[in-house]
Amino acid sequence: MMDNQIQNADIYTLSPHHRFQWEEAQSSYVILFPEGMVKLHGGAGEVIKRLDGKATVGDVVADLKATFPDAENIEKDIIGMYELALSKTWIRKV
């Protein structure tokens, strides 16, 4: 279980064979992979967009807080998105 705990210093990136892109027709970000796709609403896409293989979880949280200063209590949501993405194997730890 420890493996799935998201730590501030961890760095994540998109899993191999997964693609993240903006879809104009749906006005949303999507993740594409063999046999499937997921559509990411607003904030979820903002998290995945920041996974460049260099930014730590802490960096992503700080950046999102700075970008969306009015959003309340977003750290919990961001970690939640990491956990979801990891459990679905959309992302992997670098």
Partner 1 sequence: MTQASLGESVVQKTIHATQTQNNGVAASVTQTQPLWLLAEVTYRCPLHCAFCYNPTDYDKHTQNELTTEQWIQALRDARKLGAIQLGISGGEPLLRDDIEDIVVEAKKLGYYSNLITSGVGLTEKRIQAFKDGGLDHIQLSMHDITEEINNFITNTKTFELKKKVAAMIKGHGYPMVLNVVIHRYNIGHMKEILEMADALGAEYIELANTQYYGWSLVNRSQLMPTKEQVDEAERITNEFREKSGSKMKIFFVVPDYFSDRPKKCMNGWGEVFMIVTANGDVLPCHSARVLPNMQFPNVKDTDLGWSWKDSPAFNKYRGDSWMKEPCRTCSEKENDLGGCRCQSFLLTGDAEAADPVCSKSPHHHLIEQAILDSRNPTIAAQPIVFRNDKNSKKIIAGELKDRVDEFHALP
**Interaction of residue 94 with partner 1, rule CB under 8 A:** no
H helices of the chain, in order, are: 42-49, 57-67, 74-87
- Judged by DSSP in three states, 14 sits in strand
**Interaction of residue 74 with partner 1, rule CB under 8 A:** yes
Give the one residue of 43, 55, 56, 59 binding partner 1; rule: CB under 8 A: 43
CA distance 47 to 19: 14
**Interaction of residue 77 with partner 1, rule CB under 8 A:** yes
Residue corresponding to tokens 């930014």: 55
Q: Which residues bind partner 1 (CB under 8 A)?
A: 16-17, 19, 21, 23, 25-28, 30, 32-44, 46-47, 64, 67-68, 70-71, 74, 77-78, 80-81, 84, 89
